[in-house]
Chain A
Amino acid sequence: MKVEEVVLPGVGRKFTITVGSGDRLVIMVHHSGKRELQYFEAGEEDEPQATLDLTDEEAREVGAILAGVLFHPEAVGDTQSKLGAKVIEWIKVLPGSRLAGRTVGELPLPPGAHLLAVDRPGAPLIPNPGPEVVLEVGDTLVVAGSREAVEALKRSL
């Protein structure tokens, strides 16, 4: 992500944000507190695809939501896929996790939650891992089951 900041005398400050996909967001912060947003698709120079005006209050609220202050989405770090009432969850073994160095057999799987696979970076996928497999930092556990069971597992970790 690239952020450019320009001062517009008499008007305010302009931030041009180019994200990874090449799309651009231009945010104009007026002295009056008004925010003007313009969205440009990648490769488009002249005309914005969409514009939006926000009051100062609205902008702060949106900013807080973007920063994850008001609501921290579960999807940050974990990925969830919904299958009706059942879910599949990818749980990463982070450095310092209690799981690192323990075997699959020691995993406190609640009833209704199942370990489908262990994805180890740089190694072939370990499908249906046996209880003797030792978990390492960086592994991703693919867990399926009812939402409550998977949530309970995540909490217990």
Chain B
Amino acid sequence: MHPSVEAFALAAGLLALGAALVHRFGFPPLPVYLLTGLAVGEGLPVEELEPLPSLGLLLLLFSVGLEFGPDRLKELSGKATRAGLYDALALPLGFLLGLLAGLDLRGAALLAGVLYVSSSAVIVKLIIDLRRAANPESEVVLGVLVLEDLVVALLLALLGGHGAGGFLGGIALAALYLLFARYLGPRLVRFMEGLSDELVLLLGAAFTAGTALLFHAVGASEGVGAFLSGVIAAGLGLRARLEHLFGPVRDLGVALFFLVVGAEALKLLKGLSPLAVGLVVLGLFLKLPLNHLGGGQAGLGRKRRLYSALYLVPRGEFNLVLGSLALAQGYPLVAQVAVLLVLLSIPLGALLIRYAPELGERLYPRAPRPRRVGSSRA
């Protein structure tokens, strides 16, 4: 038997155990996957699990592109855009922090991205699992996430290449894809409508992995490739169908991915400097006041404003992509910040989101409901 079967059985068992433990308490499972990985550490045969976690990340980025692509901008309300602009102030602030920490321009830009972007995948999952979707703050938060993902995809395209060639290659490839979708798209959609679900699933997988490979080959970031293929698929009107088809596959891949991130974190965090810890702590709280202000601009009440700021705490997929990029480009500090930030912000964010109503109640006690005129009893 191939050793990967053993590794997969162990990983799946651990994930199921983690999910079962928290399910009783109505707590979302995602942070537990991360913590389980952290607890098991070196005990998890990560090498044997590949390629599932890597594919999981690609599929995750694909689905983020599918859901949070630029065509969502049209549907975005003005209030979400205003909140997103306040949120984007974290970029220059992060850049400044990077320079102060002694990084060069590229390193500071990478750090800015790591501190700025919140995880749409994690936050969407938390919002759904904690049944907050119908609340007014969710609308604002998800709008902010659309903007964030676009900005970070651009940042990744800008910084992700191996030198100038990679950057230009990535841009050219992206332009080619968009042109392709623009001119061949409608014909392709009509063709796809007649295909069976299974064929669409396989074509989608081939398209995503192929695009990532192509981006890597020209020296650009494969994460951007996966994100872009999601954007293209959404542009072709395949959103609902692919979402339905890819959902379970992606969930499994993402769970394994976060498990492996947890398991490998300790190795990466060896020799953690106080500077990195300081940056992570700043990163955790940097966006809270910005998003609180942004929520106010979006017309949320004071409680909802607080909630929207708390919702945006978790960091995830793009921070790790930026982190591994930073590691490859020789900025171990940024990579450490990214990993530690994800490690801390997901459980902390999940807790904050879970207990946001209680927190809001404590900070802003509910005014007694107005009584009818004439009843003067206290």
Contacts and interface: CB of A to CB of B under 8 A. Distances in A.
Interface stretch (A25-33, A54-62, A86-94, A134-142): A25-33
Contact of B134 (A26, A45, A46): A26
**Of residues A7, A8, A31, which shows the largest number of chain B Cβ atoms within 10 Å of its Cβ?**
A8
A6 B72 CA distance: 11
B138 interface: yes
A45 B360 CA distance: 14
Nearest to A45: B301
B47 interface: no
**Of residues A12, A46, A47, which shows the largest number of chain B Cβ atoms within 10 Å of its Cβ?**
A46
A114 interface: no
B75 A7 contact: yes
Interface of B: 67-68, 72, 75, 77, 120-121, 124, 127-128, 131, 133-134, 138-139, 142, 145-146, 240, 243-244, 301, 303-304, 366
A10 interface: yes
Nearest to A27: B134
10 contacts: A9-B68, A10-B120, A10-B121, A10-B142, A11-B138, A26-B134, A37-B134, A45-B301, A47-B366, A53-B131
Given A8-B133, A31-B243, 18 more contacts: A6-B77, A6-B139, A8-B139, A10-B67, A11-B128, A11-B133, A11-B142, A12-B133, A14-B133, A14-B139, A26-B134, A27-B134, A30-B128, A31-B240, A36-B134, A46-B304, A47-B366, A48-B134
Secondary structure at the B interface, as helix, strand, loop or mixed, is helix
Nearest to A48: B134
B124 A10 contact: yes
A7 B71 CA distance: 12
A51 B135 CA distance: 11
A7 B301 CA distance: 21
B303 A46 contact: yes
A113 to B, nearest CB: 45
A6 to B, nearest CB: 6
**Of residues A11, A26, A27, A47, which shows the largest number of chain B Cβ atoms within 10 Å of its Cβ?**
A11
A146 interface: no
Contacts of B134: 14, 26-28, 36-38, 48, 51
Contacts of B142: 8-11
Contacts of B121: 10
Contacts of A30: 128, 133
B311 to A, nearest CB: 12
A6 B75 CA distance: 8
**Of residues B134, B142, B243, which shows the largest number of chain A Cβ atoms within 10 Å of its Cβ?**
B134
Nearest to A53: B131
Contacts of A11: 124, 127-128, 133, 138, 142
Nearest to B74: A7
Contacts of B72: 7, 9
B61 to A, nearest CB: 13
A23 to B, nearest CB: 15
A45 B72 CA distance: 27
Contacts of B304: 46
A42 to B, nearest CB: 12
B97 to A, nearest CB: 29
Nearest to B120: A10
Contacts of A46: 301, 303-304
Contacts of B139: 6, 8, 14
Contacts of A9: 67-68, 72, 120, 124, 142, 145-146
Nearest to B234: A9
A12 B247 CA distance: 14
Contacts of A10: 67-68, 120-121, 124, 142
Contacts of B240: 31
Contacts of B67: 9-10
A142 B301 CA distance: 51
Contacts of A6: 75, 77, 139
A11 B303 CA distance: 22
B131 A36 contact: yes
A69 B366 CA distance: 42
A151 B128 CA distance: 51
Contacts of A47: 366
Nearest to A5: B75
A104 to B, nearest CB: 47
